[in-house]
Chain A
């Protein structure tokens, strides 16, 4: 089966500009996650959707980050305006069931969108 698809793979922008990342999860997966991975660190959850509803966005910097999953399939993550510290890899992930990884529900990751803010 096809994996989690993300685009663009690489993006370089100037600070204060905006950027958008797109994610298409594995077909049939109800839960979609966006993680931020800063160089040298592990991924950290930004937002989680179940179908088209937000489950957890407590770590999303809402003054500049927004995300949506309008039809419960694809998702877009936007940053506006970008700061230097937003330079990171943005990983999209999905899982089949509504239960989380604490129930053994495997999360599958895309290859990530690499953002450099200069």
Chain B
């Protein structure tokens, strides 16, 4: 079955880079997604990557994909206090659904 694993917590200092890691199990996932959830809010799509790519950059965000190891990472450059949130990676085990990890809570220390 599907399983998406993330570390639960990450703390970084403001201005440093954050790297959030994720491992997934479904090799048929064509797209892999990163969502952000701020306190009391829904999920906001940050970025996604197509499985035949190994890197995607979007402003301060860089997604790295190692398909052989089924490892996905999200790097946030110049992390700001507004980046404090829970970050979810999600695989797409079938045509219809997103399967989420447990989320990584990022705390940015001023």
| Residues of A that sit less than 8 Å from B by CB | 4, 40-45, 48, 55-56, 91, 93, 99-104, 106-112
| Total residue contacts A-B, CB cutoff 8 A | 70
Q: Is the CB of A101 within 8 A of B33?
A: yes
User: Nearest chain-A residue to B101 (Cβ)?
Assistant: A42
Q: Give the distance to chain A from B49, nearest Cβ to Cβ, in Å.
A: 10
Number of interface residues of B (CB under 8 A): 28
A56 to B96, CA, bound (A): 8
A-B contact pairs, 26 of them (CB 8 A): A41-B103, A42-B90, A42-B101, A45-B98, A48-B96, A48-B97, A56-B96, A56-B97, A93-B43, A100-B96, A101-B92, A102-B28, A102-B29, A102-B93, A102-B94, A102-B96, A103-B31, A106-B48, A108-B45, A109-B42, A109-B43, A109-B44, A110-B42, A111-B42, A112-B41, A112-B42
A104 partner, pick from B4, B41, B48, B103, beta carbons under 8 A: B48
In this assembly, does B100 line the interface, its C-beta being within 8 Å of a C-beta of chain A?
yes
On whether the beta carbons of A104 and B30 are closer than 8 Å, the reply is yes
Pair B100/A43 contact, Cβ less than 8 Å: yes
Which residues of the partner chain B approach A4 to less than 8 Å between Cβ atoms?
42
* Inter-chain contact B30/A107, CB cutoff 8 Å: no
Q: Once bound together, how far apart are the Cα atoms of A101 and B100, in whole Å?
A: 12
How far does the Cβ of B93 sit from chain A's closest Cβ, in whole Å? Answer: 8
Find chain A residues with CB under 8 A from B30 CB. Answer: 102-104
Chain B 72-93 against A: per-residue CB contact (8 Å), 1 yes, 0 no? 0000000000000000101011
3 nearest interchain CB pairs? Answer: A42-B100, A102-B92, A100-B95
The answer to whether B101 touches A104 (Cβ under 8 A) is no
Q: Report the minimum CB–CB distance from A16 to chain B (whole Å).
A: 27
Q: Which of A40, A56, A91, A103 contacts B43 (CB 8 A)?
A: A91
Residue contact B43 to A43, C-beta cutoff 8 Å: yes
Task: Answer whether residue B25 sits at the interface, using C-beta atoms and an 8 A cutoff.
Answer: no
Q: In the bound complex, what is the Cα–Cα distance between A107 and B92 (angstroms)?
A: 12
- Which residue of the partner chain A has the closest CB to B92? A102
CA distance A44 to B50 in the complex (A): 22
